[in-house]
Amino acid sequence: MTGGMDGRAEDRGRVYQASGDQHISEHHHHGAEAAAPGGPDSVRRPAVGQPPVVLRDRSEVLERLRASVRAERGGEVYVLYGMGGCGKTAVAYTLFHLAAGEHGRVGLWVSASDRASLRAGMLAVAADRGADDGELLAARNGLRPAADLVWQYLDRSPEPWLLVLDNADHPEILRDGNWLRTSPRGTVVVTTRRSAARWWPGAELQHIGVLPREDAARVLCDLAPHSGTREQAAEIADRLGRLPLALTLAGGFLSHQVLDPWTMETYGRRLDGEERVALIDQGADALSDEDPRHLVGLTWQLTLDAFEARGLPEATALLRLLARFAPEPLPLALLNRAEIGDVLPRARCEIALRALLDQSLTELVDVEARCAQSHGVLLDSVAAATPADAVPVLNSTAVRLLDAAVPATPDAGPHDPLLRLLVPHGLALLRRVGDDVSAAADALAVVTRLCVALHRTGDYLSAGETARTAADLAERRLGAEHRLVLAARSRAGRALFRLGRYAEAEQLLGQVRTAQERLFGADDPDTLDSGHGLQLVLGNLGRPEEALALLRATVIGRRRTLGPVHPLTLRSRSSLLVLLSAADVATEDDGALLSLPDVCVRALGPDHTVTLGAHHNHAWAMYQLGRLDAADQEIRLVTAAYRRRFGPDYPIALSAQQLLARTRAALGHPDAAVDLMTDVVARRERALGPGHPFTVASRRLLDDLASGNRHPPRT
């Protein structure tokens, strides 16, 4: 016998579900107080410990299941699958009582969590349906197939039934004993974490996920009605990932506090702490058994133990690596890299990922790229339980994987969806690294480079918010004056400028540049980078003299530190073509400034963005000097190159088109100029909003051109 229960029943007793070798006697008391069929431990009662307190937003799946039991038809198998804590058992429990109470079905509940429980429970089902002691003894002793006996009596059942096989997280147990079958007399419902269809041939699979926001908030309000408002409950629900188990525990905690009751607001603040998982699990009933399935800190450990037992330690290693990242979609390309080798062999990553998918610990999603996504509470739980000696290599590997996914030298370019997908994972790394200063510094360097890449695709809002958040997170471990923290704040200032928030940009960039100059010197590359950004702000604030003085100092510093043909040196020199007056541009640098585009072509190539920018600014200088045909021809080429490479909505492409409108008007083509500027205004209003300074300036230029002004003032 492969395991089960060596038990017997006396008199008119039944054999009950049990695990291990047990002798169970049932004593019947006939008359008015006779016990209900099946005692408190029988298969007629769901073995779920405490029943679910509330059930929200499962109406669609419940209605489909109810239709099956209501129609008194049979032969169906429904598999409810999902991650631990998502409420699969709660759905089955509710259906069980609806079937038994409203639809006249016999409800039968069996724990399928292990071989012993499954075998004992199914034999108890056979006993309930009429198998006698001799038949049960023969099945227990291996003299007849136990599963055949069970299904023989299920098929003969005089009443229709509903059989729940709960926690069937090892479907091979069902397969090996041929325990899972269909019958015209009943419906089978299986709850499991295993999602692969190969385990459930012929069954209808139903995913049980997290709750919608409104229903998740109602769960908290149902459990702790006096702790806060519906909106506060919704905010906490979002923080808990709307996972039913976590919501139930949180509501239990809030409702049971006696000496020092907490509000939802207090609970929400405490969720920001390092002991987030332990706080959630405090909602468990202190007097009840600590069933791992009832605690978010332990429920997934069952699966990790199963990985080890099946010889799949790589699946545990991969899940611990995923726990360094965020609960948002993570591009699969990030995992398919040689850098993962310090945590698990790259060749085993595919097998490990499939194991996580099969156990509903992650899922595949497609959001402009193929991604894996795991629940936040799961990741927090796994991170909290990760052995301390494994954390440094997990941190360093996660940083290297992210580093490999971010462009080494970010350049201007069109929208890249991958970049924005990486943002939450970079910030999560900064939160996860703890006191690992080296990992914090490395992670911040990568995230700052990511911000540069976002900035150069025109996604200034993401770039600015990411840089600010990254600097705030890293400052706690590295200090406010760490080089990398200051560099991240400088990037935030550059984004503020592009967002039209000039006063904030000036203040932030000024503070950062002052600190960098004091700490690292005036010619330090970081100081010079902040200086270049600050001069752009000053120029747009109507302070051209200050901007020009700072730009000249930046050019000198970059020439001395980086060399005369470094891309950043050439970029700063190119800006002089815009800030200098027409009289000065021809004499600056002994006239060499006007030949800057040729220098860029020789040093960087004709298609480099710095080269295109030099042509753009050179066309402006030609316009200022009155060389309109040359300006018009050059800016036409630049506009076409920008639009072809980056798209018509790219900010620099619109700036080039705006200059083209000026040259067209100056050359006597007012209608073409107005058409060009009308398009610029429409695109800027759509991208930036009507109140953005760039939009306002473009609309002012359109009005001037529409009024017939061939040489409108610079805006």
Burial 241-276 (b: 16+ CB within 10 A, else e): bbbbbbbbbbbbbbbebeeeebbbeebbeebeeeeb
Question: For residue 142, what pLDDT band results from cuts at 50, 70 and 90?
Answer: confident
At residue 50, does pLDDT exceed 90? no
Question: For residue 45, what pLDDT band results from cuts at 50, 70 and 90?
Answer: confident
Is the distance from CB of 10 to CB of 24 less than 8 angstroms? no
Specify the amino acid at residue 294: H
Q: pLDDT tens-digit profile of 198-230?
A: 889 989 999 888 888 888 898 888 888 888 899
Length of the chain: 715
Residue 545 buriedness (CB in 10 A; 0-12 / 13-18 / 19+) = exposed
pLDDT top residue among 576 and 589: 576
Separation between Cα atoms, residue 98 and residue 62, nearest integer Å: 10
Report the chain's C-alpha Rg in angstroms.
34
What mean pLDDT is predicted for residues 394-402?
97
At residue 473, does pLDDT exceed 80? yes
Separation between Cα atoms, residue 136 and residue 9, nearest integer Å: 10
Strand partners for 111: 166
Nearest C-alpha neighbor of 619 from the set 646, 652, 649 = 652
Q: Where are the alpha helices (DSSP H) in 160-300?
A: 171-177, 213-223, 230-239, 244-256, 264-270, 276-281
At residue 504, does pLDDT exceed 90? yes
Separation between Cα atoms, residue 51 and residue 90, nearest integer Å: 8
Nearest C-alpha neighbor of 407 from the set 348, 454, 356 = 454
What does the pLDDT read at residue 35? 32
Distances from the Cα of 197 to the Cαs of 151, 194, 307, 357, 374, in angstroms? 23, 9, 19, 11, 20
Question: For residue 258, what pLDDT band results from cuts at 50, 70 and 90?
Answer: low
Question: For residue 285, what pLDDT band results from cuts at 50, 70 and 90?
Answer: low
What does the pLDDT read at residue 53? 55
Question: For residue 294, what pLDDT band results from cuts at 50, 70 and 90?
Answer: low
Range scoring the smallest mean pLDDT among 51-60, 359-368, 656-665: 51-60
Is the distance from CB of 479 to CB of 522 less than 8 angstroms? no
Tokens read off for 325 = 């990242």
- 454 phi, psi to nearest 5 deg: -60, -45
Separation between Cα atoms, residue 573 and residue 583, nearest integer Å: 17
What does the pLDDT read at residue 55? 62
Separation between Cα atoms, residue 188 and residue 202, nearest integer Å: 12
What mean pLDDT is predicted for residues 634-663?
94
Question: For residue 600, what pLDDT band results from cuts at 50, 70 and 90?
Answer: very high
Separation between Cα atoms, residue 108 and residue 110, nearest integer Å: 7
Helix axis angle, 651-666 to 693-706, nearest 10°: 20
Neighbouring CB atoms inside 10 A of 561's CB total 17
What does the pLDDT read at residue 290? 56
Name the strand (E) or helix (H) holding 670.
helix 670-688
Separation between Cα atoms, residue 436 and residue 443, nearest integer Å: 11
Q: Where are the alpha helices (DSSP H) in 115-229?
A: 115-128, 133-140, 146-156, 171-177, 213-223
Separation between Cα atoms, residue 272 and residue 504, nearest integer Å: 28
Name the strand (E) or helix (H) holding 192.
strand 186-192
At residue 231, does pLDDT exceed 60? yes
Is the distance from CB of 630 to CB of 640 less than 8 angstroms? no
What does the pLDDT read at residue 367? 84
Nearest C-alpha neighbor of 210 from the set 68, 307, 90 = 90
β-pairing, 370-373 vs 363-366, is: antiparallel
The sign of the CA dihedral 596, 598, 604, 609 is: positive
At residue 87, does pLDDT exceed 90? no
Q: pLDDT tens-digit profile of 446-456?
A: 999 999 999 98
Phi-psi region of 61 (alpha: psi -120 to 50; beta: other; left: phi over 0): alpha
Question: For residue 297, what pLDDT band results from cuts at 50, 70 and 90?
Answer: low
What does the pLDDT read at residue 73? 74
Nearest C-alpha neighbor of 652 from the set 484, 520, 474, 460 = 460
